[in-house]
């Protein structure tokens, strides 16, 4: 009897070491997937609570650098995670999904272009939504692809800057932009309002890294959450939203 009581007590203490609130700052393109992951995680670990904070990866890094109480950082850009090196536990950093960059238009748009050159040559496309290129990964990827194709300077005043990829998606969905550069996973959540007209070629895979912050006050819980995201349950949810496994896991 005494042994059983001690075993139960040890299990309770171990559970208590994890059970706590953690804040997860994640790229805007992860909004829906991480919403479901948080629900699944909390269902599996009822004593845990996940607070989600979404924005462009660059904006999230700025928050972290200013002392925001963040436990886990999930970025849509490896360079942004590189810049977060002073704030993350390097042993916990890993790539967990990949995505694709696409061009979308309103569902009823009539366009039969074949490439980026045709997109920029079409004068009827007066507003093209592109997330800020300074601190939003999808904007950086977009600018890089257009520069490589020699087309960035053609945008001119047609460039409609947005705060993040979800705002670009919303502008196109509402008809406030004639086209927009977003991730394939974002386009997939509004199939009744937008359509993909092009997939943008990139030199390297569009990889998302995740890591636990050095100053996390709940490191054990944070590591367990990351393990959930990268494990079978989390990956099933992510792939359900159109993300793919990172190259090393394929």
- Give one word for 34, left, alpha or beta, with left for phi > 0 and alpha for psi -120 to 50: alpha
Would the annotation count 57 as a binding residue?
yes
d(CA 72, CA 64): 10
User: In this structure, what are the phi and psi dihedrals at residue 202, rounded to the nearest 5 degrees?
Assistant: -125, 150
Residue that has been written with the tokens 């004068």 in this structure: 123
Three-state SS across 169-190? HHHHHCCCCCEEEEEHHHHCCC
Would the annotation count 29 as a binding residue?
yes
Contacts of 156 (CB under 8 A, 6+ apart): none
User: In this structure, what are the phi and psi dihedrals at residue 71, rounded to the nearest 5 degrees?
Assistant: -105, -35
- Distance between terminal CA atoms of the chain? 48
Would the annotation count 165 as a binding residue?
yes
Using a 10 angstrom Cβ sphere, with 0-12 exposed, 13-18 middle and 19 or more buried, the burial of residue 139 is buried
Would the annotation count 171 as a binding residue?
no
Question: What are the structure tokens assigned to 115, written together?
Answer: 């490439």
Cite the annotated binding site by residue number: 29, 57, 165, 183
Residues belonging to the binding site for molybdate are 29, 57, 165, 183
């Amino acid at each position: 009897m005494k042994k059983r009581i001690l075993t139960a007590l040890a299990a309770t203490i171990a559970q208590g070491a994890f059970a706590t609130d953690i804040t997860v700052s994640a790229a805007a393109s992860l909004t829906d997937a991480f919403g479901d992951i948080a629900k699944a995680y909390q269902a599996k670990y009822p004593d845990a609570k996940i607070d989600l904070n979404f924005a462009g990866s660059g904006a999230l890094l700025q928050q972290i650098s200013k002392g925001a109480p963040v436990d886990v950082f999930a970025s849509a850009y490896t360079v942004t995670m590189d810049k977060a090196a002073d704030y993350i536990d390097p042993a916990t950093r890993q790539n967990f999904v990949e995505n694709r960059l696409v061009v979308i238009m309103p569902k009823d748009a009539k366009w039969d272009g074949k490439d980026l050159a045709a997109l920029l040559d079409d004068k009827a496309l007066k507003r093209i939504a592109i997330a800020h290129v300074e601190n939003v990964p999808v904007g950086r990827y977009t600018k890089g692809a257009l520069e490589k194709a020699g087309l960035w300077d053609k945008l001119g005043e047609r460039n409609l800057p947005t705060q993040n990829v979800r705002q670009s998606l919303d502008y196109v969905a509402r008809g406030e932009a004639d086209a927009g550069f977003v991730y394939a996973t974002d386009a997939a959540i509004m199939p009744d309002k937008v359509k993909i007209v092009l997939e943008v070629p990139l030199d390297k895979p569009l990889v998302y890294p995740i890591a636990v912050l050095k100053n996390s006050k709940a490191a054990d819980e944070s590591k367990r959450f990351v393990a959930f995201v990268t494990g079978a349950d989390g990956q099933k949810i992510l792939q359900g939203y159109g993300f793919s496994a990172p190259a090393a896991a394929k």
